[in-house]
A = this chain, B = another copy of it.
Amino acid sequence: MVTRCSNCPLRTRPLFVPMTDAEVGFMQKFKTGELDADAGTTLMIEGANSPQLYTALEGMGLRYKTLESGERQVINFILPGDFIGLQAGVMKEMQHSVETTTRMKLCVFDRKALWSLFRDHPDRAYDLTWIAAMEEHFLGESLAILGHMNGIARVARAFVRLHDRAEALGLIEGAKMPLPYRQQDMADALGLSLVHTNKTLKKLREDGVAMWRDGFLNILDYRRLCKIAELDLDREPLVRPLL
């Protein structure tokens, strides 16, 4: 279902709209190379500027902010297809850091090329703005989760979101999906303490709802998970045409 296109640094187009040959040509010119990053690599750092932008091709990572107190707020999890560095592209500096969790393969291109994109390919520029608006939407949703839901609902919500994204990417095999993060990462994403996150995971495990261990998430009862996450089972599908 998902077609990989390693020539396309900007995987912004809904999948059902194929690129024209001309577009593919442009994209190849736009792309400056591919990057193979080890697990634990810091791709971008808060406050600094990055001359490079990326699209994740393989592997997983996360975006986070470091607070004055030294704590971390994980902004979101990075999966294949995600665009990395829009802020660095248009603003003076990044407002969050980006780090790989597993080994990642990334499509690299130059931020200076961004302007030519806007000048010569308005439809692509439009897509880019669409990405940003989408990102804004997900952040707003996260805000609502942190603002109004209790521990177990937050964890459940995270699992549902990750499951749905993984499903769209074809990453699920036999009800299991890779989820290579640490419990601390999840805790930092959900605004919970590590201890409480751990106990919440235990509860979900014991209730036979979902099991996350050894880097894999196994959802045993999707229906009940959605219920806990306060999500409609037959909600309209997440619009996430990025790859």
Chain A residues with CB under 8 Å of chain B are 65, 67-69, 71, 73, 75, 86-87, 89-92, 95-96, 115, 118-119, 122-123, 125-126, 128-130, 132-137, 139-144, 146-148, 188-191, 230-232, 239
- CB contact between A122 and one of B75, B95, B118, B135 (< 8 Å): that residue: B118
Residues in B neighbouring A71, C-beta threshold 8 A? 148
A91–B130 touching, CB < 8 Å: yes
Q: Which of B90, B126, B141, B230 contacts A133 (CB 8 A)?
A: B90
Query: Are A92 and B148 also in contact (CB < 8 A) when A65-B141, A132-B129 are?
Result: no
Inter-subunit contact A148/B67 (CB<8 Å): yes
**For the complex of A and B, 6 pairs with smallest distance between CB atoms:** A147-B191, A132-B132, A73-B144, A139-B139, A146-B146, A118-B122
Contact of A90 (CB < 8 Å), options: B92, B122, B126: B126
Contact between B118 and A67, CB atoms less than 8 A apart: no
Which B residues touch A95, using CB under 8 A?
A: 137, 140-141
Q: Which residue of B lies closest to A126 (CB)?
A: B118
User: What are 23 A-B contacts defined by CB distance under 8 Å?
Assistant: A65-B143, A67-B144, A67-B230, A68-B231, A69-B230, A73-B144, A73-B148, A86-B133, A91-B133, A91-B239, A95-B137, A95-B140, A118-B122, A119-B122, A122-B122, A125-B125, A125-B126, A135-B136, A139-B140, A142-B143, A143-B146, A146-B147, A146-B191
Given contacts A86-B133, A132-B129, whether A144 and B92 have CB atoms under 8 Å apart is no
Question: Which one, B68, B119, B139, B231, contacts A143 given CB within 8 A?
Answer: B139
Asked if A133 contacts B87 (CB within 8 A), the reply is yes
Nearest chain-B residue to A47 (Cβ)?
B236
A96 pairs with B190, CB closer than 8 A: no
Minimum CB–CB distance from A146 to chain B (whole Å) comes to 4
With a cutoff of 8 Å between Cβ atoms, the chain B residues found around residue A144 in the complex are 65, 67, 73
